[in-house]
């Protein structure tokens, strides 16, 4: 920290320019004349990284001086988005960096555009972890986030002939200037083998795990800078071979097999599983989870012990958050480390474990609740199976004797599902081993207590709480919609950047015509920008004056992208008949990836693109409507979508979306929402006001009542002539060159099963869309509501979420710097 003033960290334009040239020359051995665009990007990244480290040393020094309590966030997924522009913003050096580059004949935006983002997650859960890391850093809460350094992140999506095609992600292809490898921070990870039970040389009972194979996990650190100052670290583990082990395990002299073993070790962190919500019991996935969990826990224990602290006080120094059940094996692993390795007795170890961990649940979908078949689990983690049996045995004894639960209740709460083939229920392990369990929106947390974890909520009512999700206003407003952010700041100052409730000060301007005009002009510019991008990506031209109606999220039946398709077709058919004369020209925009093995989701993408082909070519309607599927939804593309949206589609069946966070991102950028009473939509509507939210569809209670009564979608199909026309059109061949079979699976699913009740909500959705169009015809009213939406989004800052976690669950406070 004594280097301040040095040109290597100064924030002046001159210093940035000099550092850039230095980094280019000494960091990558290039002279400007021969530098490639990637050389220039890398040199600038290194220049910025120096300045980040400067901030970091300060944070780290304060944390250790104050011996502060820290958060360890365990997540199998992160979606940080591109680093460069965000780091410039957080350091507040965008302007001088732009000028420095200009003086060298370099356009800053060209360098920003080159960056390949780390796609280390699937969707909402991964992006939430990154928003939380941003807020932890901004608030100055001591934090370290642990995860997996997947060599191949989420696939790149391209569209060929209307179908999704997956390409491998190449984020590390040109190197990664943001990370620093720490070869000396590495841990051994065992798999398989057997356990030996017996007395050690002192006669103490001891379990020894004799592994079948072993790998090493090495730390790769990425500094995450908060706004104006503090930092947190993202520590990702990469699997590597342990040479000594391989050579011992295989026949001496069998060089080929030894090298082959090294290769297999590295497989563990090769690739992210591209499924959200459902994943069959894949051995490699279990290995990934255990691999990153044990490295992280060994690291936490090391950090604790090097401060000279007693291991028995681990829970006083670390709050460990489990992001869903993906890292829940941590509960058994910490017990193993404390009991088998560090020789604590079981009761002490259990006390520490329960007080360290807290668990966040992100889903009620039965197929997304992780369970591992016992034979598979035993093969990979034999010692952990014993530990889980012991945890379970003690737990079941307790509820049988102290709480007199009956056999059926006990079977329902057991960690082991014995209703058929035997499975380990990871959500039960996480719940039993944690002191806190939370859902991610008010409604989801209630449903969690009522359904999935009902008996546990009865047993431990105080264990359960809610923390509604949030998003970072730095990336999702200031960075991605800078013109709007600057307009806002020019009216109410820039305090909102770290105190989002201050957006309330915009309310008085909601009726101010000149403010409304500036507001809508920025929206129009953003739409122009998106239209140009879409034209480049898809060749489809859209008029920026159209209403931009956007649904962007993973493709999933429960999210009901097909409900929006039904609406689009209903508009199309009515326009063709000369009806809907008041319809305002609309661009219907979709984006999202489908899990590669999810046939119905992939068919949905094909359906959307088929509708797009039909509509966009049809000169009778294509001045009134366009349909576009934006390929490769990721953080970078998302940052172009949210600022350009007029209407945000949040149309999942009630009870299905745990929270949603895209809903918040759209609304913070001035889109109005059309949505169901699901997840955080409920709270968004509460905040922005009923009049400023387009509500449709069944409530959770109505959904459940409908199910109980024996929902019959076919009856609705028969009763609603319009709906029938729309549905029949899908299989008429008009969308598929005469092929009446292509979309049949989708059609029949809706008519005879319709698990997500599109047909029940259809008419309500269509009617609600009419209200949207009515309002769109009153630009001043629309602008007013758009402003009010933004003004009332304060609650959905991830800073608020992190304060909630800090107060309610972690009991941590920000460090005082200097
Ligand atoms: C087990 C494995 C197949 C799996 C992998 C990824 C299961 C689930 C996931 C991801 C789930 C996810 O992204 N859930 C979303 O979390 C968001 C953040 O809390 C919520 O806003 C969103 O409603 C929820 O679907």
443-497 per-position pLDDT tens digit: 999 999 999 999 999 999 999 999 999 999 999 999 999 999 999 999 999 999 9
Percent of the chain with pLDDT over 90: 90
Place of tokens 């979608």: 713
Q: How far is the CA of 590 from the centre of ligand 1 (A)?
A: 20
| Residue 4 confidence (pLDDT) above 90 | no
Please state, in angstroms and as integers, the Cα–Cα distance from residue 158 to each residue in 155, 591, 594, 629, following that order. Answer: 10, 11, 11, 11
SS (H, E, C) 714-758: HHHHHHCHHHHHHHHHHCCCCCCCCCCCCCHHHHHHHHHCCCCCH
By three-state DSSP, how is residue 227 classified?
Answer: coil
The response to whether residue 121 sits with its C-beta less than 6 Å from ligand 1 reads no
**Out of 59, 222, 661, 676, which one is annotated catalytic?**
661
668 compared with 66, residue with greater pLDDT: 668
| Residue 423 confidence (pLDDT) above 70 | yes
What 249-258 contacts at long range (C-beta under 8 Å, 24+ apart), as own/partner pairs, is 249/213
User: Is 661 a residue of the active site?
Assistant: yes
| Confidence class for position 249, pLDDT limits 50, 70, 90 | low
* pTM recorded for the entire structure: 0.97
**Out of 190, 336, 362, 792, which one is annotated catalytic?**
362
Residue 260: the pLDDT is: 80
| Confidence class for position 277, pLDDT limits 50, 70, 90 | confident
The response to whether residue 466 sits with its C-beta less than 6 Å from ligand 1 reads no
Residue 1: the pLDDT is: 36
Which atom belonging to ligand 1 lies closest to the Cα atom of 368?
7
Residue 48: the pLDDT is: 96
This model of the complex carries an ipTM of 0.97
Residue 246: the pLDDT is: 56
| Residue 412 confidence (pLDDT) above 60 | yes
User: Is 553 a residue of the active site?
Assistant: yes
- The residue whose CB lies within 8 Å of the most ligand 1 atoms, and thus the one to mutate among 73, 79, 123, is 123
Q: Provide the CA 446 distance to its chain's centre, in angstroms.
A: 22
CATH number of 473-488+499-796: 3.40.50.2000
- The residue whose CB lies within 8 Å of the most ligand 1 atoms, and thus the one to mutate among 148, 154, 276, 472, is 276
Residue intervals of the chain classified under CATH 3.40.50.2000 are 68-82+117-468, 473-488+499-796
Q: How far is the CA of 686 from the centre of ligand 1 (A)?
A: 24
Residue 515: the pLDDT is: 98
Whole-number average pLDDT of the chain: 95
Q: How far is the CA of 470 from the centre of ligand 1 (A)?
A: 15
183-219 per-position pLDDT tens digit: 999 999 999 999 999 988 888 889 999 999 999 999 9
The response to whether residue 362 sits with its C-beta less than 6 Å from ligand 1 reads yes
User: Is 559 a residue of the active site?
Assistant: yes
Summarize the confidence of residues 56-62 as an average pLDDT. Answer: 79
Residue 512: the pLDDT is: 98
C-alpha 793/C-alpha 790 separation (Å) is: 5
The response to whether residue 276 sits with its C-beta less than 6 Å from ligand 1 reads yes
Place of tokens 């059609």: 747
| Residue 252 confidence (pLDDT) above 70 | no
**Closest protein CA for atom 18 of ligand 1:** 125
631-657 per-position pLDDT tens digit: 999 999 999 999 999 999 999 999 999
84-118 per-position pLDDT tens digit: 999 999 999 999 999 999 999 999 999 999 999 99
Tell me which CATH homologous superfamily contains domain 68-82+117-468.
Glycogen Phosphorylase B; (3.40.50.2000)
DSSP character at residue 620: T
């Amino acid at each position: 920290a004594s280097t301040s003033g040095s040109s290597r960290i100064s924030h002046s334009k001159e210093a940035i320019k000099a550092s850039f040239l230095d980094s280019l020359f000494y960091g990558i051995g290039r002279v400007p004349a021969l530098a490639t665009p990637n050389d220039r990007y890398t040199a600038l990244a290194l220049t910025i990284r120096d300045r980040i480290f400067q901030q970091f040393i300060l944070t780290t020094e304060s944390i250790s001086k104050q011996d502060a309590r820290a958060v360890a966030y365990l997540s199998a997924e992160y979606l940080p988005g591109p680093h460069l522009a965000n780091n410039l913003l957080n350091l507040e050096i965008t302007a001088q960096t732009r000028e420095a580059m200009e003086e060298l004949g370099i356009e800053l935006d060209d360098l920003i555009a080159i960056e390949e983002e780390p796609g280390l997650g699937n969707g909402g859960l991964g992006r939430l972890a990154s928003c939380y890391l941003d807020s932890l850093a901004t608030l100055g809460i001591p934090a370290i986030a642990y995860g997996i350094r997947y060599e191949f992140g989420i696939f790149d999506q391209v569209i060929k002939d209307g179908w999704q095609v997956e390409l491998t992600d190449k984020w590390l292809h040109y190197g990664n200037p943001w990370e620093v490898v720490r070869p000396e921070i590495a841990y051994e990870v065992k798999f398989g083998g057997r356990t030996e039970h017996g007395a050690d040389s002192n006669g103490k009972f001891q379990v020894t795990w004799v592994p079948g194979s072993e790998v090493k996990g090495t730390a790769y650190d990425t500094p995450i800078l908060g706004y104006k100052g503090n930092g947190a670290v993202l520590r990702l583990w990469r699997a590597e071979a342990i040479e000594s082990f391989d050579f011992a395990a295989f026949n001496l002299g069998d060089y080929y097999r030894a090298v082959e073993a090294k290769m297999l070790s590295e497989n563990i962190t090769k690739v992210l599983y591209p499924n959200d919500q459902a994943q069959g019991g894949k051995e490699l996935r279990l290995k990934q989870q255990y691999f990153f969990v044990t490295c992280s826990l060994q690291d936490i224990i090391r950090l604790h012990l090097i401060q000279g602290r007693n291991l028995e006080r681990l829970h006083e120094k670390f709050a460990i958050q489990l992001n869903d059940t993906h890292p829940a094996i941590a509960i058994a692993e910490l017990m193993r480390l404390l009991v088998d390795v560090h020789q604590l007795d079981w009761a002490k170890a259990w006390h520490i474990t329960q007080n360290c961990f807290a668990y966040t649940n992100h889903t009620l979908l039965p197929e997304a609740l992780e369970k591992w078949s016992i034979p598979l689990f035993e093969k990979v983690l034999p010692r952990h199976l014993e530990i889980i049996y012991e945890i379970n045995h003690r737990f079941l004894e307790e509820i049988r004797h102290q709480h007199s639960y009956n056999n059926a209740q006990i079977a329902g709460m057991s960690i082991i599902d014995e209703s058929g083939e035997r499975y380990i229920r990871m959500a039960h392990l996480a719940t039993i081993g944690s002191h806190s369990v939370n859902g991610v929106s008010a409604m989801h947390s209630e449903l969690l207590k009522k359904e999935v974890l009902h008996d546990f909520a009865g047993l431990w009512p105080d264990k359960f709480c809610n923390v509604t999700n949030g998003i970072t206003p730095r990336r999702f407003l200031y960075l991605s919609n800078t013109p709007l952010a600057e307009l806002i700041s020019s009216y109410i100052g820039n305090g909102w950047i770290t105190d989002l409730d201050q957006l309330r000060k915009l309310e008085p301007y909601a009726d101010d015509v000149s403010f409304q005009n500036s507001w809508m002009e920025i929206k129009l510019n953003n739409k122009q920008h998106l239209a140009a991008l879409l034209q480049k990506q898809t060749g489809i031209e859209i008029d920026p004056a159209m209403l931009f109606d956007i649904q962007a999220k993973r493709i999933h039946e429960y999210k009901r992208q097909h409900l929006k398709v039904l609406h689009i077709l209903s508009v199309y058919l009515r326009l063709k008949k000369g009806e809907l004369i008041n319809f305002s020209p609309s661009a219907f925009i979709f984006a999202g990836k489908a899990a590669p093995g999810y046939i119905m989701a992939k068919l949905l993408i094909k359906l959307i693109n088929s509708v797009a082909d039909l509509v966009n070519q049809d000169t009778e309607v294509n001045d009134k409507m366009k349909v576009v599927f934006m390929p490769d939804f990721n953080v970078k593309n998302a940052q172009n979508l949210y600022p350009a949206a007029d209407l945000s589609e949040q149309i999942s069946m009630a009870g299905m979306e745990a929270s949603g966070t895209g809903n918040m991102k759209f609304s913070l950028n001035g889109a109005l929402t059309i949505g169901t009473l699901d997840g955080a939509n409920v709270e968004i509507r509460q905040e922005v006001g009923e009049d400023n939210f387009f509500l449709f569809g069944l409530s959770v209670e109505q959904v459940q009542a409908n199910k109980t009564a024996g929902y019959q979608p076919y009856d609705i199909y028969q009763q609603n002539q319009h709906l029938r026309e729309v549905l029949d059109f899908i299989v008429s061949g008009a969308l598929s060159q005469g092929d009446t079979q292509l979309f049949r699976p989708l059609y029949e699913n809706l008519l005879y099963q319709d698990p997500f009740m599109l047909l029940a909500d259809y008419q309500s959705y269509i009617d609600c869309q009419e209200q949207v169009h009515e309002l769109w015809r009153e630009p001043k009213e629309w602008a007013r509501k758009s402003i009010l939406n933004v003004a009332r989004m304060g609650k959905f800052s991830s800073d608020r979420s992190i304060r909630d976690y800090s107060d309610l669950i972690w009991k941590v406070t920000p460090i005082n710097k200097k």
